[in-house]
Amino acid sequence: MSRPEMARLEATVTGRVHGVGFRYYVVSHAQHLGLTGWVSNEQDGAVRCVAEGPRPDLEHLLELLHEGPASAIVEYVAENWLPYTGHWGSFGIRSAGHRGD
């Protein structure tokens, strides 16, 4: 049995996504899926997520980003697929406006 392709997903979620538990929702699901990376509130009101792991698990996370927690209103999710780097050992929350890995 072959191993799934490893990938990196960078996603930016816009809508009513601050103050609704969106980052904690992402962390919970990403950790459950065994993904690594981070999520942060952006200064423009968006939420940015960078995650790495098996492509099928990242696709599942992307579906969850489109849904968001019950109190969120997701208007748009911009996604960018990149090669896997293996840079992180866990998944966590980064401070607002964080740039880079």
Q: Name the residues annotated as catalytic.
A: 23, 41
d(CA 62, CA 77): 8
Give the count of beta carbons closer than 10 Å to the beta carbon of residue 79: 15
